Structure 1
Amino acid sequence: MQARIRVRTTARTAGCTVSADGSYAARLARAAGSPDAWYPERWTLGSAEPYAVPLPGNQPEEPSTEVLPMADGRVLVHRVAGERHVFTLLYPTGPGTGEVPLGAVECGELSLLPPAPGGTRAYAVAPGSRSSDIWLVAGGAFGPEHLAAVPGRCSGGVWLGGTDRMLALDRELDGRTKTVAVDLERGGEVSPLLQIAEDSDDRLLLADADSGLLLIRSDAPGDSRLGWGVLGGTRPVRFPESLRLPDLTVTPFAIQPGQVLTPEACGVALRIDGPGPADPAGSRSWLGVWRPAARQVQQLAAPAGWLTGSGWWTRDGELCLPYATGAAPCGVA
């Protein structure tokens, strides 16, 4: 079964962060004629023809500003000022941009977690040398709320089970990295999730709630490899040779939903980087499509202007890729 790719003259997002229900997306866009001036942009995806709405503030954003779409169409913005991490909700108000200040967190590092199922709340993780703090930064009653402190230095972030209760984090502790599951309804109770070998570094990259399919990167086979498993399954993680592409870097970025109890049938979209024909913008990234039941990766040219590493599957097996060009600044292929 091959991926069907279609082209429409409207688009998704740059940096392309998509809400959990697929209705909205958000990105930082460059202002026309000012390559160093950035502003948040919301993309509406649930209409017959997706469209983009700029949400500029009183001053340009820093390139490091994070944006995340909420289910109600507002966009969460995470700005950094020294060690203050400031959170604001943006929404269109006719010709201008409305803002709802949410408060700030004072710490060193902090980054937004992927959009949570439900889309009404947003979370962030602040890694430290000894422990990592998980914050509810939007959707709470009184601004940012500290939810849990997880021993070890945590990175990544994948939601499990289709709700915003169970969060998988890659935890570095005692010189090894293992993925753990954090129960946010039980005060951050931690349980092991990935422990392929005692001396391996195991990281969870993607998880699909319908099929239970997990995409994993681990050095348990002897070097860093991509593998797959099933949440709650009894079979060991498999590391197929088809995902070993010499001299290339392969990164999964989307799993096809809706394949209940059939993880082997799920389409997995891959970003492939390495030597190869460059597109007009000079990128050396292209697309791969793989399924656990397949024995090879289908390599495909990405559309011109692809927002590299961004995309999503429909339940019918259609892979959608956002792109932006001079002729079509907002497009989905």
Structure 2
Amino acid sequence: MPPIPSVPPTLSVRLSIPSAPQKPLAPPAPAAAPAPAPAAPEPQVDAPALPRAPSRPVPPALTIAADHAYAARLTTAGKTAGDAWYPERWTLDGPEPYAVPLPLDQPEEADSDVLPLSDGRVLIRRRVGADLHTFSLLYPTGPGTGELSLGSLDCAELALLPPSPDGMSVFALLPGAHSTGIWLVAGGAFGPEHVADVPGRCSGGVWLDREGRLLSLDRQLPGGGPVKAVVVDLERGGEVTPLLQIAPGSDDRLLLADADSGLLLVRSDAPGQDRLGWGVLGSCLPVRFPECLRAQDETLTPFAVQPGQMLMPESCAVALRIDGAAGSWVGLWRPAGRRLHQFAAPGGWLAGSGFWTREGVLHLPYSRQDAGCAVALLEAPADEPRPAVAQGTGMSAATPAFGVCRPVPLGQAPLTGRTASG
């Protein structure tokens, strides 16, 4: 595949991949790896409004709203570790992407979180001291930045959940000694609101519907034991339903889900080592662990599923971030296919961020000196015809089938087999 061309700022690049099967590209050699993304985009920000802040770990690259209209990240005005952090909003649903800086009078800490809403505002979570987290909404106001305070939560640990499908709500997990609290920190009427408590320690977070009602969490019960994905119904007081039970003692986590097709991407050590697998919500077929997703020296992390494939989960294209000694690049795969297609990422890719269109075009945001805010487009390649014999490694017949622990398919209510939310 020819190298991704350089483009002017705010210009999209379409990479047309031939439909005929082709040999996957080898991962780039370390010496030829693309230069790391610059720490700042092109938009210039007035230096006096951004005093220097202490160096902190680099925050997550980019968070994209559920409807893909906006994205947000923390970035710096310069290219040195001591430069001040400030939020930046990307607009992705126009003819060309563009970025708007949202600095305030004081710099942000690099461990703050930002999350875009569907109306263009950006939520920011700040840690104040050891046990206090504050929440505000930021928005552009002419040459400046407006801020609306939403309140605070007093807790040692807090993790924002991925953007809610409704586009206007933001939820957070507060792990405790015996249970995990779910709080609505944006979208409520009177500041942060307690929604539910789930027994055990929860992490992760994947939405299973388009209404923001059914949330999957990876839970470990008090006292230890394996980690199992469960479903929490936020409209029924946090009632809990088992979701994954591949083997009794295995750690079974849900990584990604598509509400249209029901395709689920999971990570489990049931096959004897941590492997990526896939299944279908509500199906009675077992989780399958394709050999093409079994990496020895790289880490594969799915980050986007093609939407709109109603009743056709095996045809959904899945984008994966591949991390290895040479850096990070992009993998494309379908459950119906027999191979993982690998492609070099655009220079300055905000690794692990991107989204699909219904037509099978992957959008990869990137930022570099010649393009402070841009998106590369990658079309999903065609796969070889799949033979009648199923490929990949499924669990044995003695292993509980994938759908057995999910009482009914998504969308049927009331759901059964629930436990009290405690």
Q: Pick the aligned partner of 1:328 from 355, 367, 371.
A: 371
Q: What is the TM-score with the length of structure 1 in the denominator?
A: 0.93
Q: Pick the aligned partner of 1:27 from 73, 97, 104.
A: 73
Cα contact 2:165–2:209 (8 A) shared by 1? no
Separation (CA, whole Å) in 2 of partners of 1:301 and 1:34 = 27
Q: Pick the aligned partner of 1:290 from 328, 333, 337.
A: 333
Q: Where does 1:156-171 land on structure 2 (aligned, <5 Å)?
A: 156-171=204-219
Cα contact 2:64–2:353 (8 A) shared by 1? no
Q: Where does 1:1-333 land on structure 2 (aligned, <5 Å)?
A: 9-10=9-10, 15-32=61-78, 35-36=81-82, 37-81=84-128, 82-173=130-221, 174-276=224-326, 284-333=327-376
Separation (CA, whole Å) in 1 of partners of 2:236 and 2:360 = 36
Separation (CA, whole Å) in 2 of partners of 1:184 and 1:10 = 39
Separation (CA, whole Å) in 1 of partners of 2:86 and 2:233 = 35
Q: What is the TM-score with the length of structure 2 in the denominator?
A: 0.74
Greater RCO, CA 8 A, separation 6+:
2
Cα contact 1:11–1:43 (8 A) shared by 2? no
Gaps in structure 2 of 5+ consecutive residues: 13-40, 42-59, 377-422
Cα contact 1:203–1:218 (8 A) shared by 2? yes
CA gap of 1:49–1:185, structure 2 versus 1, over 3 A, is: same
Cα contact 1:271–1:286 (8 A) shared by 2? yes
Cα deviation per residue 1:266-300 (whole Å; 9 max; x = unaligned)?
11101111123xxxxxxx11110010011110010
Cα contact 2:131–2:155 (8 A) shared by 1? yes
Cα deviation per residue 1:134-173 (whole Å; 9 max; x = unaligned)?
0000010100001111111000000012121110000011
Q: Larger Rg: 1 or 2?
A: 2
Cα deviation for residue 33 of structure 1 reads: 5.2
Separation (CA, whole Å) in 1 of partners of 2:207 and 2:118 = 16
Separation (CA, whole Å) in 2 of partners of 1:137 and 1:209 = 24
Describe the SS at the equivalent of 2:289: coil
4+ residue runs of structure 1 moved beyond 4 angstroms?
Answer: 5-9, 11-14
Cα deviation for residue 35 of structure 1 reads: 3.7
Cα deviation for residue 319 of structure 1 reads: 0.7
Cα deviation per residue 1:120-146 (whole Å; 9 max; x = unaligned)?
111111112311000000010100001
* RMSD over equivalenced CA pairs, Å: 1.8
Separation (CA, whole Å) in 2 of partners of 1:10 and 1:210 = 31
Separation (CA, whole Å) in 2 of partners of 1:22 and 1:322 = 11
Cα deviation per residue 1:13-52 (whole Å; 9 max; x = unaligned)?
9722111111111111111255431100011112111110
Separation (CA, whole Å) in 2 of partners of 1:319 and 1:101 = 35
Q: Which has the higher strand share?
A: 1
Describe the SS at the equivalent of 2:210: coil
Identity %: 64
Further displaced range: 5-14 or 69-78: 5-14
Question: Residue type matched to 2:65 in 1?
Answer: S
- Paired residue for 1:279? none
Cα contact 1:11–1:324 (8 A) shared by 2? no
Cα contact 2:65–2:163 (8 A) shared by 1? yes
Separation (CA, whole Å) in 2 of partners of 1:6 and 1:191 = 48
Cα deviation per residue 1:61-80 (whole Å; 9 max; x = unaligned)?
11111000001110000001
Cα contact 1:11–1:323 (8 A) shared by 2? no
Separation (CA, whole Å) in 2 of partners of 1:201 and 1:87 = 33
Aligned length: 323
Separation (CA, whole Å) in 1 of partners of 2:118 and 2:299 = 33
Further displaced range: 50-59 or 24-33: 24-33
Separation (CA, whole Å) in 1 of partners of 2:281 and 2:196 = 24
Cα deviation for residue 175 of structure 1 reads: 1.6
Cα deviation per residue 1:87-113 (whole Å; 9 max; x = unaligned)?
000000011100000000101110110
